[in-house]
Amino acid sequence: MANKDIVDLASANYMDNYSQFPISIRSGKGVTVTDEDGKEYLDFVAGIAVNALGYGDEEEKEALLSVIGSGVLHASNLYYNSHAVHAAAMLNRAAGSDEVFFCNSGAEANEAALKMARKHGSAKGKTEIISFSHSFHGRTYGAITVTGQEKYHKGFAPMLPGVVYASFNDLDSVKAVISERTAGIIVEPLQGEGGIIPADKGFLQGLRKLADEYDALLIFDEVQCGMGRTGKPFCFQNYGIAPDIMTLAKALGGGLPMGAAVAFGKAKGIFSPGDHAATFGGNAASAALAEVVLSRLPELSGNAAAMGAYLGEKLRDIVSRYPSLCIEERGMGLMRGIDLRIPPRDVVAKCMEKGLLVCSAGYTVLRFIPPLIVTEADIDKAAAIVDEALSELA
Ligand SMILES: Cc1ncc(COP(=O)(O)O)c(C=O)c1O
């Protein structure tokens, strides 16, 4: 089938909840994907920060084939499976954390974290959660409620009670809403969907202090910025400030659905049997891929640090040459963006025509989140395409 046939079939059968580009991805190798018409693209989207190992990774293939060969893709959490248990141990070792709950997505991981914060606070009547402007935490009711962007709430009222909002990178705004009722604070150390906005170190240090002072749990949502993307295995390690709970998803399952809520120190032991569950959480297939990604985390984060610095330089150079279109470059590691004066979708469409996949973040940011195996040559090629696209739009 050609791209067009697939798009037509989708319009006849899908709900209209996505704004999709009219191509269907058929295959991939390394940092390149091919659509159903045979056109190749250099992929700086990576399934929205999912495909850390790029496409066609041999170790992932072997791991998945071995699970398929066992005949058991899923057996439920009534029993253990060695892949999930090993993945949890590897995760705790890499993060310095104590306990892991596996689920299937970022939103689910955040739901688990919010429930943990409320359960932790319940004996003392603490129920409130503080979240931030420009944040994004997912699409379930708990997750959209703590997402501090009106556009995600519109048409879906009422949101969950007990959530208060503060301004990102503004500690005074947190001091104005925190109280003895506060059970948790949820924050992305590097905001993704809100526009690639890094937290200031002083802001995270302040949140850590306030959370301790008020006995609230500090939740770092690393669904997008975790798993090596910012140049360290986890984004919080760039700041030297540990959360009480970290949430992960996206790259964790190597392309299969997998999320995790990870507990540190005082967040250990909050859940008791029956408190929380996910039928598919930690299923053998996703967990086997998580083992592969976690075993390669040092090498992936090292490459993200080196290639991220290189990508940052290239993007800052582009920004300096198109001041009428670009405001600034920002980000960490291989999670970067250019804040634009024009709608990012125009640039995304032009780049796609020229064989580069990039995406937007928020209303104004062009986002670069390539596989963590990306090379200098890939970055040179991508930068040349963005340059050409901008020169045609200037
Ligand atoms: C920071 C962050 N949290 C949560 C989510 C939601 O993840 P999912 O779509 O897997 O539910 C996302 C998705 O983009 C995200 O970027």
Tens of pLDDT, residue by residue over 348-391, are 999 999 999 999 999 999 999 999 999 999 999 999 999 999 99
State the burial class of residue 273 (Cβ atoms within 10 Å of its Cβ: 0-12, 13-18, 19+). exposed
C-alpha to C-alpha distance for 329 and 9, rounded to whole angstroms: 39
Assign 245 a pLDDT band (cuts: 50, 70, 90).
very high
Q: Tell whether ligand 1 has an atom less than 6 A from the beta carbon of residue 334.
A: no
CA of 321 to the centre of ligand 1 (A): 33
Output the average pLDDT for the chain.
98
* Span 52-81, average pLDDT: 97
383 in a structural domain? no
The per-residue pLDDT for 187 is 99
The per-residue pLDDT for 340 is 98
Q: Tell whether ligand 1 has an atom less than 6 A from the beta carbon of residue 260.
A: no
Percent of the chain past pLDDT 90, that is, above it, reads 100
Q: Tell whether ligand 1 has an atom less than 6 A from the beta carbon of residue 291.
A: no
Neighbouring C-beta atoms of residue 287, cutoff 10 Å = 27
316 in a structural domain? no
Atom of ligand 1 nearest to the CA of 259: 10
**Domain hosting residue 67, numbered range:** 59-296
- Specify the residue with its C-alpha closest to ligand 1, atom 4: 137
The CATH code of the domain that includes 219 is 3.40.640.10
84 in a structural domain? yes
276 in a structural domain? yes
Mutate to test the pocket of ligand 1, among 18, 246, 250, 256 (most ligand atoms within 8 A of CB): 250
337 in a structural domain? no
255 in a structural domain? yes
The per-residue pLDDT for 329 is 98
Task: Count up the domains in the chain and report the number.
Answer: 1
Pairing of strands 335-340, 259-263: unpaired
* Span 53-64, average pLDDT: 98
The per-residue pLDDT for 384 is 98
Mutate to test the pocket of ligand 1, among 114, 224, 252 (most ligand atoms within 8 A of CB): 224
Mutate to test the pocket of ligand 1, among 223, 234, 252, 256 (most ligand atoms within 8 A of CB): 223
Whose tokens are 């940052």? That residue is 312
Tens of pLDDT, residue by residue over 256-273, are 999 999 999 999 999 999
Tens of pLDDT, residue by residue over 14-34, are 999 999 999 999 999 999 999
Total-model pTM: 0.98
312 in a structural domain? no
5 in a structural domain? no
Assign 236 a pLDDT band (cuts: 50, 70, 90).
very high
Contact 361, 195 (CB under 8 A): yes
In angstroms, what CA-CA distances link 29 with 4, 103, 203, 369? 23, 28, 40, 17
